[in-house]
């Protein structure tokens, strides 16, 4: 096979956001658009590109097959030696991270727009992960972006075709050298990793006991986790067949929004309310997010989920083998885990939103468990958040202490107090008023007279203790991430945070994060929405958000 050089044109806006490049499918379908981005990812690998091995896969959404075909043709033309590709293009984001690390690859390309809807009228996305298995850090994504702004041509082998539906190795001769494509089973490597972390026999006893099995309902939302869930929960752990639903990955997720929260996983919530299950879980399109529910759809806030896992890591063999290093959360995530860190005498890191910021800490051996309020939970077993891992971790705790999910949460609040948390998302707003709102708010809160100001709502008074635009200095490489969200911290520990999302495919999404802390045992079992109402009102008042974007209600509340 011989490569040709195709003359291209540049496209604006090929800037990877919080987690990869996300745009409408139609944008990716434009002539040269996807090709440009793939070429720039490869060029950004630098001297290691020639002869390297990469893994490729994704959540199976619309346009993934076309994108994989483009990747094969461009990778071969650019001197890549080998591609590992998930069968039919299916690999979850955590599985890609696992495979990069296990086989010491140079990186991986993930075809997904995560929790964004899929199909011809919806979104597609491309994430690039580096050799530690984690999302490319800012330095790499900036290099890629800069390359996209000046790309003139790309190398491609137009007639190099490969059937990705059959497992096996195929070799091609490209410019006198071997180019290898290995189609791999989507689940094997990930399953093996999970078996090395958890006690599968114990979990099997829990789920398939003939005396009193623990009844779980796992909803893959027609995303990538289906095949993983079937293998792990049905084949390996012998859970009854009705324990899993929506396990066939579909190009459009069956028309749903593959985002595991109370709004988009409403069918799971409904079934749990009506039927006798002890536990429910759902994942997003690419399998890195998770939602945990107890019987009758009792909701575990993601921020509490990490804190509870942190407290109980000794139930998991992986953490029995090596001592727990530090803990971490993203800045907007509620501080429940901070309390556990203090009590266990572990260091707690607060990083900007996005999993890439945890990677350096893990690589340096400083971090074992971390999470985000956005339904992301994970550990240093890989360098991505991991939905199925989170469920297995919860089940491991239950296998040891035999309490209900609700009881586990309640006992946790009793011991540490409760961090009430809610996030208001205003999706798809106009960009200009949204950035204006953020700019004016930043000026207001960073003005020296803002500290000490008191705000009152519903007879509750909140006094500002600190307010800034969050900035993070990576303790390992000293790189600085600026503009990571406006935060207002009150003297009673309550917090209000405003951020513009970095994962939308068009327009702007404003997120308002609201958190307060209650330690009194009589106040820990209340409705978060009600408890946080006064603070929500103050947030809306300080930011004047509603008048800037002309909305009275958020699109989603999580
Ligand atoms: C969102 C979440 C963030 C998460 C990111 C990627 O980013 O808030 O916590 O890491 O999505 O998740 P943003 O910039 O829209 O707030 V995923 O499941 O897309 O890989
Ligand atoms: Co995701």
Please pick, among 19, 114, 243, 505, the residue that the annotation labels catalytic: 114
What ligand is nearest to the CA atom of residue 331? 1
Question: Which ranges of the chain have pLDDT less than 70?
Answer: none
- Ligand 1 atom at minimum distance from 354 CA: 10
Which pTM does this prediction carry? 0.95
pLDDT, tens digit (0-9, with 9 covering 90-100), for 458-471? 888 999 999 999 99
For the beta sheet containing 244-245, the strands, ordered from the edge strand earlier in sequence to the opposite edge, are: 244-245, 216-219, 279-283, 290-294, 299-300
CB-side neighbour CA atoms (13 Å) of 225: 32
Q: What local confidence, expressed as pLDDT, does residue 211 receive?
A: 81
For 73, residues 6+ apart whose C-beta sits below 8 A from its C-beta are 156, 157, 158, 160
Paired sense of beta strands 53-58 and 82-90, if any? parallel
Q: What local confidence, expressed as pLDDT, does residue 282 receive?
A: 98
Best residue for ligand 1 mutational test, from 305, 374, 484, 512 (most atoms within 8 Å of Cβ): 374
Cα 81 from Cα 411, distance rounded (Å): 54
Q: What local confidence, expressed as pLDDT, does residue 242 receive?
A: 94
- Ligand 1 atom at minimum distance from 113 CA: 19
Q: What local confidence, expressed as pLDDT, does residue 18 receive?
A: 82
For atom 13 of ligand 1, the residue with the nearest CA is 501
The percent of residues in the chain predicted with pLDDT above 90, rounded, is 94
Cα 272 from Cα 215, distance rounded (Å): 11
Residue 347 and residue 327 in contact, taking contact as beta carbons nearer than 8 Å = yes
| Positive or negative torsion for Cα 49, 54, 59, 63 | positive
Sequence-ordered alpha helix ranges (H) in 275-430: 302-311, 317-321, 336-344, 356-363, 387-401, 405-416
Cα 496 from Cα 380, distance rounded (Å): 29
Question: What is the number of residues in the chain?
Answer: 558
Comparing C-alpha atoms, which of 528, 518, 525, 450 is closest to residue 489?
Answer: 450
Residue 125 and residue 14 in contact, taking contact as beta carbons nearer than 8 Å = no
Cα 393 from Cα 409, distance rounded (Å): 15
pLDDT, tens digit (0-9, with 9 covering 90-100), for 58-80? 999 999 999 999 999 999 999 99
CB-side neighbour CA atoms (13 Å) of 491: 10
Cα 143 from Cα 151, distance rounded (Å): 12
Sorted by where each starts, the structural domains of the chain and their CATH numbers stand as 4-186 (3.40.120.10), 189-416 (3.40.120.10), 418-557 (3.30.310.50)
């Amino acid at each position: 096979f011989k490569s040709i050089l195709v003359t291209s044109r540049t496209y604006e806006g090929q800037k990877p956001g919080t987690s990869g490049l996300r745009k409408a499918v139609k944008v990716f379908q434009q002539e040269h658009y996807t090709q440009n981005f793939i070429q720039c990812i490869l060029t950004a690998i630098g001297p290691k590109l020639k002869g390297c091995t990469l893994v490729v896969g994704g959540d199976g959404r619309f346009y993934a097959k076309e994108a994989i075909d483009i990747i094969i043709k461009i990778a071969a033309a650019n001197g890549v030696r080998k591609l590992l590709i998930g069968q039919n293009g299916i690999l979850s984001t955590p599985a890609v991270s696992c495979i990069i690390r296990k086989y010491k690859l140079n990186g991986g390309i993930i075809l997904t727009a995560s929790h964004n809807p899929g199909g011809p009228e919806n979104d597609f996305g491309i994430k690039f992960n580096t050799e530690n298995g984690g999302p490319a850090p800012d330095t790499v994504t900036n290099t890629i972006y800069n390359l996209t702004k000046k790309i003139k041509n790309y190398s491609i082998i137009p007639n190099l075709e490969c059937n990705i539906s059959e497992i096996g190795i195929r070799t091609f001769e490209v410019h006198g050298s071997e180019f290898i494509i290995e189609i791999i089973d989507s689940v094997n490597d990930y399953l093996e990793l999970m078996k090395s972390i958890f006690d599968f026999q114990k979990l099997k006893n829990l789920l398939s006991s003939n005396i009193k099995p623990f009844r779980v309902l796992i909803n893959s939302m027609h995303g990538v986790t289906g095949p993983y869930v079937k293998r792990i929960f049905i084949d390996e752990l012998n859970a009854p067949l009705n324990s899993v639903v929506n396990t066939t990955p579909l190009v459009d997720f069956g028309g749903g929004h593959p985002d595991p929260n109370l709004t988009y996983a409403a069918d799971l919530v409904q079934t749990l309310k009506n039927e006798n299950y002890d536990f429910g879980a759902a994942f997003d399109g690419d399998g890195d997010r998770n939602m945990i529910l107890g019987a009758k759809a009792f909701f575990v806030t993601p921020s509490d989920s990490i804190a509870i896992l942190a407290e109980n890591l000794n139930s998991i063999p992986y953490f029995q083998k090596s001592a727990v290093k530090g803990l971490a959360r993203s800045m907007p995530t509620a501080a429940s885990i901070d309390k556990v860190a203090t009590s266990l005498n572990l260091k707690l890191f607060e990083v900007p939103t996005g999993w890439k910021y945890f990677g350096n800490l893990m690589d340096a051996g400083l971090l074992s468990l971390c999470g985000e309020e956005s339904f992301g939970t994970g550990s240093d077993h890989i360098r991505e958040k991991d939905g199925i891992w989170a469920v297995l971790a919860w089940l491991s705790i239950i296998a040891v202490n035999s309490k209900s999910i609700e009881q586990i949460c309640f006992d946790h609040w009793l011991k540490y107090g409760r961090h009430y948390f809610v996030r208001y998302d205003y999706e798809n707003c106009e960009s200009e008023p949204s950035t204006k709102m953020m700019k004016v708010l930043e000026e207001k809160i960073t003005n020296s007279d803002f500290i000490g100001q008191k705000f009152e709502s519903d007879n509750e008074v909140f006094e500002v203790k600190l307010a800034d635009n969050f900035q993070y200095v990576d303790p390992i490489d000293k790189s600085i991430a600026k503009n990571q969200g406006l935060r207002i911290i009150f003297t009673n520990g309550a917090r209000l945070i405003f951020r513009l999302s970095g994962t939308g495919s068009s327009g702007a999404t404003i997120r308002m994060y609201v958190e307060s802390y209650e330690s009194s045992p009589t106040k820990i079992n209340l409705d978060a929405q009600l408890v946080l109402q006064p603070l929500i009102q103050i947030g809306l008042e300080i930011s004047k958000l509603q008048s800037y974007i002309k909305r009275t209600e958020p699109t989603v509340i999580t």
